[in-house]
Amino acid sequence: MNIVYIVGIVMAFFFTVFGIVVGFDMSTLQFSFSIENLKNFVDLSSILIVIGGTLAVVVACYPKQIRSLPKHFKIMLHSNTFDPQVYVDQLTELAQIARKNGLLALEEKGNEQENSFFKQAIMLVVDNNDPERVRSILENEIEQTSERHQAVIAMYERGSNAAPAFGMIGTLIGLINMLKNLDGADMNSLGPDMAVALITTFYGSLLAHVVFNPIAANLTARDEEEILCRQIIMEGIMAIQSGENPKFLRERLLTFMNEKQREGGEAAEGADDGGKKEMSFRRLQGGGTQNEEKEKKRKRRSELDGHLWRHGHASALLFCNAVLHVQNG
């Protein structure tokens, strides 16, 4: 179970609510508590605009991936599904069996495998396929798996971009309605009306950074773990087919892992490890030209969404400034 993710989400909501209901008076150095403040952050129209609009965009952009939502959460919450050390041990054992009894002796072990990719790799070797053909099939399988994963991750990244955008749209709707009724309106009502208009921005930011972004980040981590394990399996199987020494094979496969993984500890997280995995996988794909192009397109789309979001909020601030000038006048 991915306890860290659950704790992080709970803490994010807790501190947000805590910041809303708890205040601190600098003059008296005392805390104040008001549950009534939560009512200021509840608006049904804003909820419908942000959540409804974001989900509608995600469904429209990714109609196939949306059907597998329960599967996505299951994968995300199980953090120990792919352990490289386990596959290194299994491959070392297979190398010893093949060295002693030949490649045909691996068929029984292959049938016992629950991992479909591992089983496929073993059977390709048992059937005495050409090494180049085996590598080509396994590389293609890894590439297609990675592309499917990236499509799912892109769905949640799209949600994290769409949520603030719909927050901005809701804010603009509220400001437009407020300015339409400004002529002859009670100036004392401008503050509450403006607060309601800005709630959608709060909802959009919360939905993007507390819901969608953590899901995308965790799915990315699971993707990197699975791709790393599949790469280890492919290299191990190819070495077994070529008759490599089991001890040398084990040492070579351990180079795919960081020091903590080699020692049997938890996988070390960090930008350096992620970069090594990505570079290793790109070498596996022979340059990864297609994936690099997709990554560039996704970055350009994210930059455009960010520009639109910032521009929209700048417009909203200009509207607010104009209203304040009218009120002061």
Instruction: pLDDT tens for the chain, 329 residues: list them.
Output: 778 888 999 999 999 998 888 877 777 777 788 888 888 888 888 899 999 999 999 999 998 888 888 888 888 787 667 888 899 999 999 999 998 988 888 988 888 888 899 999 999 999 988 999 999 999 999 999 999 999 999 999 999 999 999 999 998 888 888 877 776 656 666 777 777 788 999 999 999 999 999 999 999 989 998 999 999 999 999 999 998 898 999 998 988 887 776 665 444 344 444 444 444 444 444 444 445 555 555 555 555 455 444 545 555 555 555 555 545 54
15 lies in the same domain as 71 = no
CA proximity to 81, closest of 107, 114, 42: 114
CA proximity to 206, closest of 50, 6, 5, 8: 50
159 lies in the same domain as 278 = yes
- Assign 259 to helix, strand or coil: helix
12 lies in the same domain as 154 = no
23 lies in the same domain as 110 = no
Instruction: Copy the structure tokens of residue 220.
Output: 């990315």
Number of domains in the chain: 2
How far is the C-alpha of 97 from the C-alpha of 91, rounded, in Å?
Answer: 10
49 lies in the same domain as 166 = yes
- Assign 22 to helix, strand or coil: strand
* Contact partners, residue 85, CB within 8 Å, separation at least 6: 257, 261, 262, 264
Q: What are phi and psi of 30, to 5 degrees?
A: -125, 150
32 lies in the same domain as 104 = no
Domain span including residue 92: 43-328
170 lies in the same domain as 310 = yes
276 lies in the same domain as 180 = yes
Q: Which residues pair with 24 in a beta bridge?
A: 31
34 lies in the same domain as 49 = no
81 lies in the same domain as 16 = no
- Long-range Cβ contacts of 117-126 (<8 Å, 24+ apart): 117/141, 117/145, 117/230, 117/233, 118/87, 118/90, 118/233, 121/233, 121/234, 121/237, 122/94, 122/237, 124/237, 125/237, 125/240, 125/241
Taking phi over 0 as left and psi of -120 to 50 as alpha, with beta for the rest, 288 belongs to left
**Where do we find the tokens 């009724």?**
181
36 lies in the same domain as 56 = no
3 lies in the same domain as 142 = no
